[in-house]
């Protein structure tokens, strides 16, 4: 259960990201990072038998966030980046 609620909430955040990117002041960027299942202690405990080979590391997400916060991404706005 809960997959519908998760999907609707995620779609709402994607739409909000795009809408805000079009409404905010010039020079302000709005982007979203969309990680899949994160490799965290909480997820390991909650799903001990899951195949973690495709789980996303916190470092991978941090690299995307660092890019979006850098000058290299100054022209990136309204993007939703899956990790």
For 10, residues 6+ apart whose C-beta sits below 8 A from its C-beta are 34
30 within 8 A of 24, measured Cβ to Cβ: yes
Q: Considering the domain 3-82 in this protein, what is its CATH number?
A: 3.40.50.720
The model's pTM: 0.83
The pLDDT value recorded for residue 48 is 95
Residue 13 has pLDDT above 90, yes or no: yes
Whether the CB-CB separation of 55 and 11 falls below 8 Å is answered with no
Predicted confidence (pLDDT) per residue in 17-69, tens digit: 999 999 998 889 999 999 999 999 999 999 999 999 999 999 999 999 999 99
Enumerate the domain spans of the chain. Answer: 3-82
Distance between CA 67 and CA 58 in Å, rounded? 14
Which pLDDT belongs to residue 2?
73
Chain segment 67-77, per-residue pLDDT in tens: 999 999 999 99
Supply the residues annotated as catalytic: 6
Return the closest-CA partner of residue 12 out of 83, 82, 80: 80
């Amino acid at each position: 259960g809960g997959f519908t609620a998760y999907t609707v909430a995620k779609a709402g955040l994607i739409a909000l990201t795009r809408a805000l990117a079009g409404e905010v002041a010039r020079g302000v960027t709005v982007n979203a990072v969309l990680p899949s299942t994160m490799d965290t202690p909480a997820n390991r405990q909650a799903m001990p038998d899951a195949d973690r080979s495709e789980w996303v590391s916190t470092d991978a997400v941090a690299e995307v966030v660092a890019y979006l916060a850098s000058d290299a991404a100054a022209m990136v706005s309204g993007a939703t980046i899956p990790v």
